[in-house]
Structure 1
């Protein structure tokens, strides 16, 4: 197995292929106005088209998100972040921004084959005004098997007999289906190496994938409120190899850690006050509008005494698309606990008070 960015640094992959595989490998060039939050990580002493070695995403005006292994051996002075440029050789576009701080997840284990908690945050030396990418909520259902995601990067576009091609000058993208961890852990695939904090995407026949130089970049899915990031390119066996999917850090698993690192008090909305009204089989849930909020995430689960595991282990959530009132006809015997959080970018309020819905 291999870390994509380690390959960027020249460590050879040991698995040879019988024939060359095209890629991101078999991707397409991104449109100039697409993915405005996509960023390249480059060596500070090289030009971007020569020194790009990992991807990242802008998730806060002062922070980008990448893979922890992309920062192994690096300091805040050795790397920079490039934003606003899709074609690396277009020197008149975008800006190179220095790094103030590197924050790796404390459980990152430096495993050279299948790293755990492969996540790092880079604090920029100054805030920027580019659009940010929202992260998937930890209780959302955006990563169901069969759902389609998109990955992107400036990495190798061809992989021939364990040798990567030169990296792409223009940002490339490819669509991939999300695969269950059970399938990804099959004996003919990763045989149990994929943990619950990881997720997989790709085709069983291979042929399309992220590759060398794409590490740290995003796996994103399209939602009713725009694109959201569900994964960080982390590791895999070769590139686009049959039976071996790309493995990504599962964003939702680390949402609390990320928001605690990047969100200041002035970024965080106040908590809404929630109200529940029951009339027959109709339940209406409403909440106070929060002035600084950009939206609201609604949470629901089977109700239980003292919020036992029956509730805590079965929480689901969805974005209300800005609504502050929901009404639904429910079946007899329905018993739910509900709550809501306001958000601004990737910074969330505390939970509202918990409401209970009981339909006799």
Structure 2
């Protein structure tokens, strides 16, 4: 357990963008019932063994969650006979979940799609999350042109009972995320950020969803990206820029359909 907690601490502190959703705003949870939280025992002494959000995810089919490949330390125990791993679904206004469902399997995205790396994974759940009030997110199929407005939601490394937060930004030039200090795959990733903004994703938000409003009404929150990570401001420091890297969910549509057997072209909203 000590080694596992140490591994989580290293993972959470160094594999995610920054501390929580910085300057995030409390979200209207009814708009984001597709949000999923991967739960883990906190490695931080101040939390006294309580449960925290290790990574985010999106309900992409009734029993499947889309998250980041690099969140693997949070769910790898599923395959090695370790302790059960659960996700929280349908978060309420009080920060508590309607249900926690065990992860029974996971499938990492192919190491390469074409010739590029892809930071995505699918988690199979033990039961249908929609039976507990969660909804399946539709995938945004529009163009991710510069200036497209986005909404990212997450819990950071929050304890249960803390609110879901969001921040709004825009798609920006890939060059701002394509740094030699980070992994950026221009074919399957995109960059989001506003110059000098003080809002961005943070620790524990990796794997969580970026939404763009679309659908027939133009107001449905459709998942467009998976939080991949921040961008280092320099080679030696820990400071990061205002830009965040995201994996393009639309580029994964065929793979998701093949794994889940779910028709990703259907309208899943309720």
Asked if 2 retains the 8 angstrom alpha-carbon contact of 1:268 and 1:344, the reply is no
**In structure 2, what is the equivalent of residue 280 of structure 1?**
none
* Alpha-carbon separation, structure 2, partners of 1:121 and 1:68: 8
Secondary structure of the 1:214 match is: coil
Offset at residue 169 of structure 1 (A): 1.4
**In structure 2, what is the equivalent of residue 177 of structure 1?**
170
Task: Give the TM-score, by structure 2 length.
Answer: 0.75
Asked if 2 retains the 8 angstrom alpha-carbon contact of 1:24 and 1:154, the reply is yes
Offset at residue 89 of structure 1 (A): 5.8
Higher relative contact order (CA 8 A, sep 6+): 2
* Alpha-carbon separation, structure 1, partners of 2:55 and 2:64: 16
C-alpha RMSD over aligned residues: 3.7
**In structure 1, what is the equivalent of residue 243 of structure 2?**
245
**What does residue range 1-360 of structure 1 map to in structure 2 within 5 Å?**
9-10=9-10, 12=13, 24-43=21-40, 50-72=51-73, 74-76=76-78, 77-86=83-92, 90=96, 93-107=97-111, 116-129=117-130, 130-137=134-141, 140-141=142-143, 143-155=144-156, 169-185=162-178, 193-195=183-185, 196-225=187-216, 226-237=220-231, 243-263=241-261, 267-268=262-263, 343-345=266-268
> What 5-or-longer segments of structure 2 have no aligned partner?
1-5
Deviates more, 1:221-230 or 1:94-103: 221-230
Offset at residue 245 of structure 1 (A): 1.1
Offset at residue 237 of structure 1 (A): 3.0
* Alpha-carbon separation, structure 2, partners of 1:85 and 1:45: 19
Offset at residue 136 of structure 1 (A): 2.3
* Alpha-carbon separation, structure 2, partners of 1:84 and 1:124: 14
Secondary structure of the 2:10 match is: coil
Secondary structure of the 1:260 match is: helix
Offset at residue 99 of structure 1 (A): 1.2
Go from structure 1 to structure 2 and tell me whether the alpha carbon gap of 1:238 and 1:34 turns closer, same or farther (over 3 Å shift).
farther
* Alpha-carbon separation, structure 1, partners of 2:157 and 2:182: 28
Secondary structure of the 1:259 match is: helix
* Alpha-carbon separation, structure 1, partners of 2:198 and 2:228: 18
Secondary structure of the 2:135 match is: coil
* Alpha-carbon separation, structure 1, partners of 2:68 and 2:195: 24
* Alpha-carbon separation, structure 1, partners of 2:42 and 2:23: 31
Encode CA deviations 1:244-303: one digit per residue, 9 max, x unaligned. 51101111222111111112xxx549xxxxxxxxxxxxxxxxxxxxxxxxxxxxxxxxxx
Secondary structure of the 1:246 match is: strand
Encode CA deviations 1:109-153: one digit per residue, 9 max, x unaligned. 9xxxxx93110101111113221111123xx31x11101101111
Offset at residue 243 of structure 1 (A): 4.0
> What 5-or-longer segments of structure 1 have no aligned partner?
1-5, 15-20, 110-114, 158-165, 270-341, 347-360
Offset at residue 344 of structure 1 (A): 4.8
Bigger radius of gyration among the two: 1
* Alpha-carbon separation, structure 2, partners of 1:147 and 1:56: 22
* Alpha-carbon separation, structure 2, partners of 1:190 and 1:203: 21
